Amino acid sequence: MIGAIAGDIIGSVFEWNNYKGIDFELFQANSDFTDDSVLTIATAETLLKGDDYANMYQTYGRYYPNRGYGGRFASWIYDDFAQPYNSWGNGSAMRVSPVGFYCNSLDEVLKEAKKSAEVTHNHPEGIKGAQATALAIFLARSGNSKEAIREIITNLFAYNLDRTCEQIRPDYEFNESCQGTVPEAIIAFLDSSDYESAIRLAISLGGDSDTIACITGSIAQAYYKEIPEYILNKVNDILPTEFKEIIAQFERKTYISL
């Protein structure tokens, strides 16, 4: 899941300052983790401890406030009787990557991704976005080709993946929905040649840059099995110690080697 977190950090400075190119500095003085990383860590800890997703998301959200949470989620964090609010936003997809690395069958991935999404994002599109992201990760880490990933995701979720970043980029605008984010993030991975190029392509689309790069980065990590050391080192400099401890525990549990 470090691939998702690295994408979030790199994309953090571009969310409200889109750059429609790939020739940018990966890290800037104000690069930082956002709600995408916070909730990704919360998902990982939920899986490690067998805890409740809603409880863990509220706990992390309260402990790490002001990290860019959407308005409804920011209120939900503090609701002692919190209920799902039928969201189709991309929050369900940005936090789901640990599920794709943790689960070991297609059915298990789909079931767990739905479980992680529906505590807040119980709209069919919110669930679908989480499932598609987690399944793309699972398929990538299981050795499937890009064409196989494209075909399976298209058949199961009816996303249009027969586009390229070059075709998407000119007219793509800010979009916080799963249906307007997840397909584009997957395409950025499909068009890439390695982890870094995947992140650069994701950010070059514009839109909700940190979330697109977070989703793309998680799939790229699973597929390429390698993230440049200079990216990992910079991410480790930025992350809190407790995040790094959860990542290490999760990697040991899931036998991920970077």
Q: In this structure, which amino acid lies at residue 16? A: W
Please report, in tens digits, the pLDDT of each residue of the chain (258 residues total): 899 999 999 999 999 899 999 999 999 999 999 999 999 999 999 999 988 999 999 999 999 999 999 889 999 999 999 999 999 999 999 999 999 999 999 999 999 999 999 999 999 999 999 999 999 999 999 999 999 999 999 999 999 999 999 999 999 999 999 999 999 999 999 999 999 999 999 999 999 999 999 999 999 999 999 999 999 999 999 999 999 999 999 998 876 443
Give Cα 95 to chain centroid, integer Å: 5
Helix (H, G, I), strand (E, B) or coil at 89: strand
Note the pLDDT tens digit of each residue in 129-157.
999 999 999 999 999 999 999 999 999 99
Which residue reads 């980065």 in tokens?
217
Tokens of 243: 């995040």
What is the residue-wise DSSP string for the chain?
A: -HHHHHHHHHHGGGTTS---SS-S-S--TT----HHHHHHHHHHHHHHHT--HHHHHHHHHHHS-SS---HHHHHHTT-TT-------BTHHHHT-HHHHHH--SHHHHHHHHHHHHTTT--SHHHHHHHHHHHHHHHHHHTT--HHHHHHHHHHHH-------HHHHGGG-----BSTTTHHHHHHHHHT-SSHHHHHHHHHHT-SSHHHHHHHHHHHHHHHH----HHHHHHHHHHS-HHHHHHHHHHHHHHT---
Torsion on CA atoms 66, 14, 95, 217, rounded to nearest 10: -150
Q: What percentage of the chain reaches a pLDDT higher than 70?
A: 98
Q: What is the pLDDT of residue 108?
A: 97
Host H or E run for residue 112: helix 106-117
Residue 1 has a pLDDT of 85
Length of the chain: 258
The predicted pLDDT at position 255 comes to 62
What tens digit of pLDDT does each residue of 173-199 get? 999 999 999 999 999 999 999 999 999
| pLDDT the model gives residue 51 | 87
